[in-house]
Amino acid sequence: MNYFQLFQLPAQFDVDLTELGTRYLALQKQFHPDNFASASERDRMLAVQQAANINDGYHSLKQPLLRAEHLLALRGVKISAEQRSFTDTAFLIQQMELRELLGEIPHAADPDALIDDAERQIRVQKKQLLASLSAALGSNTHEHDLAAADIIRKLKFFFKLEQELEFIAQQTQD
Amino acid sequence: MAYSNKVIDHYENPRNVGAFAKDDPTVATGMVGAPACGDVMKLQIKVNDQGIIEDAKFKTYGCGSAIASSSLVTEWVKGKSLDEAAQIKNTDIAQELALPPVKIHCSILAEDAIKAAIADYKQRHGG
């Protein structure tokens, strides 16, 4: 299923989210079960299926990482179910250091300062990675697509770090 | 999802947590990560001049199964030669810890970590 086609949007990483939202609402309305109350059994089933596709598609296109994964899958680079370990040592050392920083928060004299520091580091790195992801996907060559897949893998670590930080920050405030 | 008793044991009493001195020439390090869950695993081995792994340490940020898998591997590799340690399979780890299918990737991570540490050692020692 090509979600860009479903929403009649160009198959590219940079998506107009307002436009996506408008088309989502229009499609949802078009395939609402109420419109198929008197339709044949087959058409009703197709409408239900289409409504599910619309929801899945909206979910996938709305979030940058899922959108990038979907775009890559359409180009033949599938990474969503992979179990291969990531082995970029320099990147992983940096991740470990950020995890250690997060681990210090609960014991710190001034936890808020460490939380701010970690938040800032994660935000800066994420922004840089998202910009490189956009550039790599924009090139639309297989080589750049493989580079984009690696950037997505790195971004996943940062999204996980963000969750961890949120969890630690909440616990620290309690 | 319930963890097996062995996972809980390694999680609550992890063996060999920590790190060796970075500049120790007999130490090699394997770093691996799992993008899907954001787990990061560091596994270090200390190798004597007979090529036997004398000691091992790990540091893992991840779920209980990832911590248990790396803890178990540090126990298993001690006393093994590099070639013997390279034979450790993720299926052995998963079986020993009774990991459920959704946690198999944790055992893959631990296998890849020991392989990465061995590769690091061989690279540092020219072979």
Which candidate from B34, B59, B61 shows the least CB-CB separation from A85?
A: B34
ipTM entry? 0.88
Predicted confidence (pLDDT) per residue in A153-173, tens digit: 999 999 999 999 999 999 887
Average pLDDT score over chain B? 93
Chain B: nearest CA to A100, how far in angstroms?
Answer: 9
Of the residues B37, B43, B58, B61, the best mutation for testing chain A's interface (the one with the most A CB atoms within 10 Å of its CB) is: B61
Residue B122 in this model has a pLDDT that exceeds 90 = yes
Tell me, what CATH number does B116's domain have? 3.90.1010.10
Q: Is residue B96 part of a domain?
A: yes
> At B61, which helix (H) or strand (E)?
strand B53-61
Candidates A97, A149, A155, A151; CA nearest to B38 is: A155
Distance, in Å, from the CA atom of B27 to the CA atom of B117, rounded to the nearest integer, reads 9
B22 lies in which domain range?
5-122
**What pLDDT score was predicted for residue B37?**
86
Distance, in Å, from the CA atom of B44 to the CA atom of A52, rounded to the nearest integer, reads 48
Q: Is residue B18 part of a domain?
A: yes
Predicted confidence (pLDDT) per residue in A5-55, tens digit: 999 999 999 999 999 999 999 999 999 988 998 899 999 999 999 999 999
What would the two tokens of residue A112 be? 């808020």
Is B63 among the residues known to form the active site? no
Q: Which of B8, B31, B34, B37 is catalytic?
A: B37
Is B37 among the residues known to form the active site? yes
Rg for chain B, CA atoms, rounded = 14
Which domains can be identified in chain A, with CATH numbers? 3-62 (1.10.287.110), 89-173 (1.20.1280)
Q: Is residue B104 part of a domain?
A: yes
Residues from chain B contacting residue A93 (CB–CB below 8 Å): 31
Distance, in Å, from the CA atom of A110 to the CA atom of B29, rounded to the nearest integer, reads 33
For residues A136, A137, A141, A143, the Cα torsion angle rounded to the nearest 10 degrees is 50
Give the count of beta carbons closer than 10 Å to the beta carbon of residue B77: 25
Name the pTM for this structure. 0.88
What would the two tokens of residue B69 be? 């898998």
Residues from chain A contacting residue B66 (CB–CB below 8 Å): none
Give the count of beta carbons closer than 10 Å to the beta carbon of residue A159: 16
Directed axis angle between helix A111-139 and helix A142-173, to 10°? Answer: 160
Mean pLDDT of B59-70: 94
Mean pLDDT of B13-25: 91
**What pLDDT score was predicted for residue B127?**
59
Of the pLDDT bands very low, low, confident and very high (cuts 50, 70, 90), residue A80 is confident
**Nearest chain A alpha carbon to B36:** A156
Q: Is residue B60 part of a domain?
A: yes
Domain count, chain B: 1
For residue B73, CA distances in Å to A78, A122, B3 come to 30, 31, 18
Candidates A97, A96, A115; CA nearest to A105 is: A115
Average pLDDT score over chain A? 94
Residue A110 in this model has a pLDDT that exceeds 80 = yes
Q: How many residues does chain B have?
A: 127
Q: Is residue B127 part of a domain?
A: no
What would the two tokens of residue A102 be? 């997060």
Amino acid (one-letter) located at A25: L
A23 touches chain B (CB under 8 A): no
What is the CA A39 to chain-centroid distance, rounded? 37
